[in-house]
Chains A and B, each alone.
Chain A
Amino acid sequence: MSIALEHVSYVYSPGTAYEKQALKDVSFEIEQGQFVGIIGHTGSGKSTLIQHLNGLVKATSGKILYEGQNIYDAGYDMRKLRGQVGLVFQYPEYQLFEVDVLTDVCFGPKNQGLPQEECEKNAREALELVGFPEKYYRHSPFELSGGQKRRAAIAGVLAMKPKVLILDEPTAGLDPKGRDEILDQVQKLHRETGMTVILVSHSMEDVARYVERIIVMNHGEKMYDGTPREVFRHYRELEKVGLAAPQVTYVMHDLREKGFPVSPDATTIGEAADEIMKCFEYRTGESQ
């Protein structure tokens, strides 16, 4: 149960003046149940990459194996794949269109050919999973706040019961609390359902806080692939390609330069605080 890419390359508009290689020989495997972050600067190939994962874009060369089967095989059921690998685009709320939230969320399962009753059951479960308040189920999606619209849109994908959920910058344009709420909800969903979650993000702090593995894309190639600690260790190289490490990682490096025996690997506030407190523990011990 996994998604694997084997030597995937993708060329836009081949043979024209606009020819551009968007992906170059990308290979990796994501096991069922992982929480993976994909980072990279604008134009690094992140969005092209995720559109390959549910067959929206077909690789120019290479293979994509979903549960061991090549999705480019003749007769492969693409429709089923799209039901299992759910893709939430950037600003998904622009895709809301129905008269009320519940009907909108029912649209996916209805398209899958499920009976009305089951559609509504799945829709309700999906809305519950994203923490969408029941009192707004019958409201027009256009009357909702930015954060609620985003939840409704994510629920629209979840209602198709995917095994893999891909989110392309789900927090863009939200206020800080809204960002935390959406990501906390995604984390909860990941824990409760065991769904594979792939998060594309521009926030290094968010990625460090939530995911267990980071894939870094640069100019269409996979640059790094590892735990947040492993990846952010390369903060100087990341800066060169328009990325960065979380702020606290820089604090740790600065402290080491000043002679503090802290590990430079901390990527979250909690980890950084633990490391710094170790240097002061004898001190607080004395004062008590």
Chain B
Amino acid sequence: MGMIHAEELVYEYDKRDDEGNIIGTERAIDGVNIDVPQGSFVAILGHNGSGKSTLAKHMNAILIPSGGTMWVDGRDTKDPEELWNVRQTAGMVFQNPDNQIIGTVVEEDVGFGPENLGVPTDEIWKRVEDSLRAVGMLERRKDSPNKLSGGQKQRVAIAGVLAMEPKCLVLDEPTAMLDPNGRKEVIQAVQQLRKAKNVTVILITHYMEEVIDADQVFVMDGGHIVMHGTPREIFSRVDELKSYRMDVPQVTMLAEELRRRGLDLPGGILRREELVEALCRLR
């Protein structure tokens, strides 16, 4: 069993009218099976309302399944005794950096998590330093978070989660509100973390370019997993992806267009270098 493991996961919630009377149930997650091995990088794609954030919220027991089971590092999230262990195992980072930062100084903000866990002071400082270094924000430790750019704030938010030493990092659209540079910074920081600390990463995103390096990609629609494979497998199914309101990286789209116009290129080209190389071979 992997770090995150779900079997036949179902999540239902009550629909209410204006007076608060229950008028039916809505199924946001419908029979999801997923396995994320320790140390791997998994991306989840899906349109607005497909259920991907609801699934993510099961990974640190913000939501408890209505049916089926979610295990985090072998712990059943339904078990109230395990709640804090689950939350310590899987740390979450959300879309809006401004909603996640509470400290008035960067290092204070990062130290908030371990302090809450009752970590001894010396150890807190060590973790704060390690975490800020891991996301490349150590030199800003004494600054006010207000002075940081979106990408920098989001990296501080990630450091805040890291300081709790989770085995697994769940990122729910961490780059949605950032400019191109901010997006690049955050994704690079996450990549480095994986290498340095062997943290399992689950990334939910609407940016296709960010999932190219994932080990596995899951695509969700209507609460189901509708596609599953490596980025190359997923992005070679252009029409199917588009039917789920998704897209492919621009380079993949260009390669598709060239194929349509008669060039004999392989399917599922993801990177610039691959396309250039393939074109050189054709010449």
Contacts and interface: CB of A to CB of B under 8 A. Distances in A.
Closest A-B pairs by Cβ, 10 of them: A177-B245, A176-B247, A242-B181, A175-B47, A247-B250, A146-B48, A273-B257, A254-B276, A202-B179, A41-B179
Contact of B258 (A146, A174, A243, A273): A273
Contact of B250 (A147, A248, A255, A284): A248
Contacts of A250: 272
A172 B176 contact: yes
B250 A269 contact: yes
Interface in A255-288: 255, 258, 260, 269-270, 272-273, 276-277, 279-280, 283-284
B137 interface: no
Interface string A160-192: 000000000000111111101000000000000
B56 to A, nearest CB: 15
14 contacts: A176-B245, A176-B247, A177-B246, A244-B180, A246-B250, A247-B251, A247-B254, A248-B250, A251-B275, A255-B279, A258-B279, A273-B254, A276-B254, A277-B258
A173 B177 contact: yes
A43 interface: yes
A225 interface: no
Nearest to A243: B180
Contact-residue size bin, chain A (C-beta under 8 Å from the other chain):
35 or more
A250 B177 CA distance: 24
B254 A251 contact: yes
Given A178-B48, A276-B258, A42 B206 contact: no
B279 A276 contact: yes
A11 interface: no
Interface residues of B, number: 41
B242 interface: yes
Given A178-B47, A273-B257, A248 B251 contact: yes
Interface string B27-40: 00000000000000
Given A41-B181, A175-B246, A251-B272, A269 B149 contact: no
A273 B275 CA distance: 12
A208 B59 CA distance: 38
A242 B179 contact: yes
Contacts of A258: 276, 279-280
A204 interface: yes
In this complex, the member of A254, A260, A279 whose beta carbon has the largest number of chain B beta carbons within 10 angstroms is A254
Contact of A204 (B178, B180, B182): B180
B23 to A, nearest CB: 12
A13 interface: no
B222 interface: no
A205 interface: yes
Given A42-B150, A244-B180, A251-B275, A175 B254 contact: no
Contacts of B196: none
Contacts of B173: 173
B261 A43 contact: no
A145 interface: yes
A176 B250 contact: no
Nearest to B276: A254
Tell which of A242, A258, A283 has the most Cβ of chain B within 10 Å: A242
Contacts of B258: 273, 276-277
A173 B172 CA distance: 11
Interface in B137-189: 149-151, 173, 176-182
Given A176-B206, A273-B261, 14 more contacts: A145-B49, A176-B47, A177-B47, A178-B48, A180-B247, A242-B179, A247-B254, A255-B276, A258-B276, A258-B279, A258-B280, A270-B257, A277-B258, A283-B282
Given A172-B176, A173-B95, A178-B48, A284 B262 contact: yes
B254 A272 contact: yes
Given A178-B245, A247-B249, A255-B279, A172 B177 contact: yes
Contacts of B249: 247
Contact of A147 (B46, B48, B273): B48
Nearest to B248: A176
Contacts of A273: 254, 257-258, 261
B102 interface: no
Nearest to B253: A269
A254 B206 contact: no
B276 A269 contact: no
Interface in B95-150: 95, 149-150
B50 to A, nearest CB: 8
B63 interface: no
A248 B262 CA distance: 19
Contacts of B182: 41-42, 242
Contacts of A180: 247
A167 B105 CA distance: 34
B83 interface: no
Interface in B260-283: 261-263, 272-273, 275-276, 279-280, 282-283
B208 interface: yes
A205 B177 CA distance: 16
